[in-house]
Amino acid sequence: MKLKKKKIDEMIELLDKITEKAIQYENNFAEKLSLIHPEYKKSAINFLHYLALRENDIRDLQEKLGELGISRLARAESNVLASILAVKNLLRKLNKLKKQERGKGVISRKKARKIIRKNTNALLGKKLKGAKTRIMVTLPKEAVDEKNLINELIEAGMSAARINCAHDSIDIWYKLIDKIHSVKKRTGKNCRVCMDLGGPKLRTGKMIPGPKVVHLTPLRDTKGRVIEPCTLLLAKEGTLPSEEYPVILPFEEEFLMEIQIGDKLTFIDTRNKKRNLKVVEQAANGFVAKLFDSAYIETAAEVSLLREENIVASTQVGNLIPIEEYIVLKSGDILTLLADQQIDGQSAKIDENGNIINSAFVSCTLPEVFKDVKEGELIVFDDGKIEGKIIDVKEDKVVVEIFYAKEVGEKLKADKGINLPESNLNISGLTEKDKEDLRFIAKNADVVNFSFVNSGKDVQDLFEELKKLEREDLGIILKIETKKGFKNLPEILLTAMQHYPIGVMIARGDLAIEMGWKNLAKAQEELLSLCEAVHIPIVWATQVLETHAKKGRPSRSEITDAALAERAECVMLNKGPHIVKTVKLLSEILKDAEEYQDKKSTLLPVLQMFNPFNN
């Protein structure tokens, strides 16, 4: 379709207005630009230009440009004025205007690519051989005891190791970091240590303790025949469950010293049924035993050790971890959140006629938010499994009416996340624990992952702490996981660019809940564009190949999601028993995706399908 000269003049005029707005933004933010780190000066200016470009809906302009076969400015993020100038000059040629405009001080696409590579290297180190997209992996504490796990992860493609300060202890952190440095020294491969600050945790409080009993269950087929026995670990009291051994039976060390491979442990369970455990092998911290029948065993149960049908020793089962109680909630139920964290949560109490005597209640770990919430606002529990509406607010409690849960009821346990996406919460991104953890991070890590950053002030607070610790060179990754953080991203980035180097993590789990599921795709697209405009690396996080990491086989949608993650500079994987295989798979997917995608631009390699015209 051929456009008339007048239409082309109108397009040039619109592009002129966008350029004027871009320069106006530069002038308006001159004071903020004066504070920007030298490495980000041009990037900050380009960022303002991009905000000016996206201030208005330009889809009609894009449609007309597409009709002329000219760039639609869809890939102008990294070099805004240069792209606009190139389009304007092409339009001027079409209208036979001889004088071409020249741009001064604008960033070319080639220059922009160099800047983003430099910034990514500064934050995450040089890429490993293979895909250009880095892989960050959340380390499990088991990596301390598993001799080769970190080495295997780095060999598979991990170039950034994530340690979450919300879990484990300083002793575990030291050991993990020491192992990373040992592998780096031996292999010469890059692996940055990235540590997450926990941030303000808005979660459900403790539940009333349940009975100290464990249910041991072998795997059975559809006819009830045992096809795999229940495996458990016999260990000293205080041994915690792990992914390898989720069930622990604790005993005194003296009794454990009597055990030999091939022995049997016999006991009477809570249902008065006799059961036998067979000791099959020795582990690093105890003995592995197998059970071929279902059993319920409780603290202080009498146990006898048999060898060749003779009793060698007898003892009692040690202190078992109480079964975690929970509240079952259905649509229409009432739940009260309490400020007093000393009160353990309980389910609703119902009389013999089915009438509710007391509704369910549980405490909240951050009761200070009660002053910020209002009646009618949305509240979400446990990653969106339960949703409710706030119907009453008091100083010491918030009453919620549940309107979404599974029809049969959803379990709400202790330490589950609470989101208040519609509330204007005045909680800082840095807690006292964060400040304590930051002292360790400043001495031992390459990057701090800053959780729940909501404003430029949160970023300034982090700067002040780093200044006190004399680590103003520490890499910073800003985790965008709230609606407030998303809305304030321009302010957050312009503040953060006073520091070098920085990056942004798109924390899709919390962001989906905060923004609403239907808005997640739109939100992540905008985050990708804004970060590209400012030339800083993006970490694509939450549930990437999660099924594969946990079960060893990915879903089809996970493969597509992982391929799309190539648009980011780094992809984060969570821990799981199959994590090494998952890193290898992700590395292969990212490498293949690079042939078809460059950031948000589609590439066109030779088709790998058959040629239908070649007989």
Give me the amino acid identity at 581: K
- DSSP code at position 570: E
Closest CA to 575 of 31, 80, 115, 140: 140
Q: What's the mean pLDDT in 99-126?
A: 87
pLDDT at 426: 86
Whether cis (ω within 30° of 0) applies to the bond prior to 612 is no
Higher pLDDT, 261 or 605: 261
Contacts of 552 (CB under 8 A, 6+ apart): 577, 578, 581
CA distance 91 to 87: 6
159, 133 Cβ separation under 8 angstroms: no
Which of 338, 324, 469 is CA-nearest to residue 411?
A: 324
pLDDT score for 613: 58
Which of the 8 DSSP states describes residue 132? S
pLDDT for residue 105 is more than 70: no
Are 569 and 539 contacting, i.e. CB atoms less than 8 angstroms apart? yes
> What is the rounded distance in angstroms from the CA atom of residue 304 to the CA atom of residue 317?
10
Mean pLDDT of 17-24: 94
| Residues 542 and 507 sit within 8 Å (Cβ to Cβ) | yes
pLDDT at 112 over 80: yes
277 near 287, Cβ under 8 Å?
Answer: no
What CA–CA distance (Å, rounded) separates 387 from 420?
10
How far is 397 from 403, CA to CA, in rounded Å? 19
CA dist 293 and 563 (Å) reads 44
> Cα torsion for 263, 268, 273, 277, to the nearest 10°?
-20
Residue 603 has a pLDDT of 60
Average of per-residue pLDDT values in the chain: 91
From 577, 531, 581, 540, select the one nearest 562 (Cα to Cα). Answer: 540
- 3-state SS class at 60: helix
Residues 314-354 pLDDT 10s: 999 999 988 888 999 999 999 999 999 999 999 988 878 77
Give the Cα separation of 533 and 46 in Å (integer). Answer: 6
For residue 384, give every residue at least 6 positions away whose Cβ sits within 8 Å of its Cβ, in sequence order, or none.
Answer: 512, 513, 517
Longest CA pairwise span in the chain (Å): 104
Q: What is the pLDDT of residue 95?
A: 86
| Residue 88 near residue 76 (C-beta atoms within 8 A) | no
* pLDDT mean over 532-536: 96
Report whether pLDDT(282) > 80: yes
- Strand, helix or coil at 492? helix
Q: What is the pLDDT of residue 607?
A: 56
Give residue 560's identity as a one-letter amino acid code: T
168: alpha, beta or left? (left if phi > 0; alpha if psi -120 to 50): left
Q: Quick one: pLDDT band at residue 604, thresholds 50, 70, 90?
A: low
To which H or E segment does residue 215 belong? strand 213-216
The pLDDT of residue 153 is 95
* Range in 36-40, 162-166, 179-183, 513-517 the model is least confident about: 513-517
Task: Locate 192 and state its tokens.
Answer: 């940055």
**In which band, very low, low, confident or very high, does the pLDDT at 612 lie, cut at 50, 70 and 90?**
low
Helix (H) or strand (E) holding 531, with range, is helix 520-533
What distance in Å separates the CA atoms of residue 436 and residue 289, rounded to the nearest whole number? 41
Q: Which residues, including other chains, have CB under 8 Å from residue 148's CB and lie 6 or more apart?
A: none
Residue that the structure tokens 């879903």 belong to: 555
CB atoms within 10 A of CB 125: 19
Provide the pLDDT confidence category of residue 356 given band limits of 50, 70 and 90: confident
Encoded tokens for 70? 């000219």
Between CA 540 and CA 124 the distance in angstroms is 14
Q: At what angle do helices 508-515 and 520-533 cross, to 10 degrees?
A: 120
Question: Which amino acid, residue 71?
Answer: S
The predicted pLDDT at position 430 comes to 87
Considering only CA atoms, give the Rg of the chain: 29
At residue 2, the pLDDT reads 59
Per-residue pLDDT averaged across 575-603, rounded? 85
pLDDT digit string (tens) for 23-51?
A: 999 999 999 999 999 999 999 999 999 99
Helix segments in 95-202, DSSP class H:
109-124, 149-156, 170-187
Proportion of the chain above pLDDT 90, given as a percent? 72
Paired strand residues for 286: 283
Helix, strand, or coil here: 104?
Answer: coil
Q: What is the pLDDT of residues 285-323, one digit of tens each?
A: 899 999 999 999 999 999 999 998 899 999 999 999 888
Give the phi and the psi of residue 502 in degrees, each rounded to 5: -135, 165
190 vs 160: CA distance, rounded Å: 8
Q: What's the burial of 416, exposed, middle or buried (CB within 10 Å: 0-12/13-18/19+)?
A: middle
Whether the CB-CB separation of 138 and 114 falls below 8 Å is answered with no
**Which residue stretches of 339-444 are H helix?**
432-444
Sign of CA pseudo-dihedral 560, 563, 569, 573: positive
The values of phi and psi at residue 294, to 5°, are -65, 140
Name the strand (E) or helix (H) holding 593.
Answer: helix 579-593
Per-residue pLDDT at 589 exceeds 60:
yes
What pLDDT, on the 0 to 100 scale, is given for residue 243? 74
Which pLDDT does position 127 carry in this prediction? 82
Residue 221: helix, strand or coil by DSSP?
coil
| CB 540, CB 506: distance < 8 Å | yes
Peptide bond just before 501 cis, omega within 30 deg: yes
More confident residue, 270 or 600: 270
Q: What is the pLDDT of residues 395-417, one digit of tens each?
A: 999 999 999 999 999 999 999 99
